[in-house]
Amino acid sequence: MKKILLLTIVLIYSTSGFSQLNYDDWFLSKALRIDYFLTGDSEKQSIYLDGLSEEQFWSGSSNTLIDPLNYGSYKIVVKDKETGKLIYSKGFCTLFQEWQTTDEAKITPKAFEQVTRIPFPKKTVTVEFEARRKDGVFASLYKLEIDPSSIYISRELPSRYPVTQVVNNGDSEHMLDIAFIAEGYTSSQMESFRRDVKRMYDYMISMEPYNRFKDRINIWAVESPSEQAGPDNPGKNIWNRTPVGTTFYTFGTDRYLTTLKFKSVMDVAANAPGDIVYILVNSTEYGGGGVYNHYNVSTANHSLSDKVFVHEFGHGLAGLGDEYFGSEVAYSDFYPKGVEPWEPNLTTLVNFDSKWKGMIEVGTPIPTPIDDVYKSKVGVFEGGGYASKGVYRPSFNCRMRTNEAKGFCPVCVKAIEDVLSFYTK
């Protein structure tokens, strides 16, 4: 388990409002997996429990059990039943929440698989799922009570796959552990998979701020073979049998590569420690997707795959929002007017004091015009979050906007650095 944090990391944690706890007082060094369904349409949602199981690896932070960031569209809150003490919380996002903003969600209710993992409690706990309302405030969505001694918690071992530690920088308790899943690689292509994983890691640590944390990252490759090479592509009538069922044309967008089989993703990921799960897909097509504290996915063999990889990883690790606009997406009104986005690199100026205002040079106009004098500076540039008006980004260009950007802007660098510190200190 991650070592207990002995000193407060003021820059990151001082706003959490909670004192952090000793992991060993409340939890065992394994995980409790909660499987459930998120169901509903564009206006309403519900949770239905599917099952509970024990897993051998707890891969989250044990330093900081109470989430200090307040990111995500959902939050899980765990309290000791006897005392009511808050002992764990974590923000996250889901594909379901993205789907709710599509036109399909206005007419057709659906159910999405969801998995949330928490440290395995020593005593009975109450678990509450909260959802962020349209006004940006979290509200209770579902509650349950979990007795860790229950005979109905499955202790069945997951399907076993070979695991290679591609990068070993030390004990997992001090590291950010990234578990890569092989998708669309046949059993004879696992050497290629391991090389692809290492290539993505090498590109990542060439960039700011990952280069300063390269000795605090472990990389695991879970070698899950596919019957056929490559993912599904409905637009080309390609249907392959793969471990986690990745497919292009998510929500009708050809380059959006994801999977709705999240239980399968986590079944495979259970073979290795992993704070972050990354599905690496054997394909030469352009595509990917990243969902905060959910999973990340991209193809491995397109000429821009390394750039797509770090972009999607920015979503999944640090909760960064897309800074582009005017592109083909399935969403409508993803960021409502009058509500400040939770993503650290987007603003509607409703509560800009909570964002990167302190990083802007004196004299820089807010909003910031697209003039040559400001293009290299931190500012407030209109256009972002899929909208050309009303949503603002911190730089003229950034890896969260285009593949042509040299790297991440200073605001995104700071957000990534904060999360890396969260996992590794």
pLDDT digits (tens, 9 = 90+) for 157-196: 989 999 999 999 998 878 999 999 999 999 999 999 999 9
295 phi and psi angles, rounded to 5 deg = -160, 165
Residue with tokens 């910031």: 368
Contact 137, 113 (CB under 8 A): no
59 part of a folded domain: yes
Contact 248, 286 (CB under 8 A): no
For residue 244, give the nearest of 289, 292, 286 by alpha carbon.
289
For residue 138, give the nearest of 170, 205, 183, 90 by alpha carbon.
90
Of the residues 154, 187, 215, the one at which a domain ends = 154
Instruction: Give me the mean pLDDT over the 246-268 stretch.
Output: 97
- C-alpha–C-alpha distance, residues 233 and 250, integer Å: 10
Count of domains in the chain?
3
The type of residue at 337 is K
pLDDT digits (tens, 9 = 90+) for 272-323: 999 999 999 999 999 999 999 999 999 999 999 999 999 999 999 999 999 9
185 part of a folded domain: yes
The reply to whether 101 and 240 lie within a common domain is no
The reply to whether 30 and 145 lie within a common domain is yes
pLDDT of residue 305: 98
118 part of a folded domain: yes
Of the residues 122, 154, 186, the one at which a domain ends = 154
- C-alpha–C-alpha distance, residues 141 and 128, integer Å: 7
The reply to whether 41 and 150 lie within a common domain is yes
Contact 101, 41 (CB under 8 A): no
Side-chain half-sphere of 384: how many Cα atoms within 13 Å?
Answer: 26
* Spatial strand order in the sheet of 217-222: 163-167, 217-222, 176-183, 276-281, 295-299, 288-291
Q: 63 Cβ partners below 8 Å, 6+ apart?
A: 2, 3, 4, 5, 20, 422, 425
The reply to whether 179 and 314 lie within a common domain is yes
415 part of a folded domain: no
62 part of a folded domain: yes
Among positive and negative, which fits the CA dihedral 233, 238, 242, 245? positive
How far from 328 is each of 135, 303, 323, 332, CA to CA, in Å?
Answer: 26, 21, 14, 11
The reply to whether 142 and 201 lie within a common domain is no
The reply to whether 278 and 380 lie within a common domain is no
Q: What is the CATH number of the domain that holds 254?
A: 3.40.390.10
The reply to whether 211 and 267 lie within a common domain is yes
- C-alpha–C-alpha distance, residues 48 and 114, integer Å: 10
pLDDT of residue 19: 62
219 part of a folded domain: yes
CA 123 from centre of chain:
28
The reply to whether 144 and 175 lie within a common domain is no
The reply to whether 209 and 279 lie within a common domain is yes
Contact 137, 41 (CB under 8 A): no
Reported as type and span, the H/E element at residue 182 is: strand 176-183
85 part of a folded domain: yes
Supply the mean pLDDT for the chain: 93
The reply to whether 212 and 230 lie within a common domain is yes
- C-alpha–C-alpha distance, residues 128 and 333, integer Å: 28
Of the residues 96, 120, 154, the one at which a domain ends = 154
Q: What is the CATH number of the domain that holds 83?
A: 2.60.40.3250
The reply to whether 279 and 305 lie within a common domain is yes
For residue 274, give the nearest of 172, 168, 202, 162 by alpha carbon.
172
Range(s) of the domain holding residue 391: 364-397
pLDDT digits (tens, 9 = 90+) for 105-163: 999 999 999 999 999 999 999 999 999 998 999 999 999 999 999 999 999 998 999 99
The reply to whether 207 and 297 lie within a common domain is yes
Beta strands per DSSP E along 292-345: 295-299
208 part of a folded domain: yes
pLDDT digits (tens, 9 = 90+) for 63-89: 789 999 999 999 999 999 999 999 999
Phi-psi region of 285 (alpha: psi -120 to 50; beta: other; left: phi over 0): beta
Instruction: Give me the mean pLDDT over the 389-407 stretch.
Output: 96
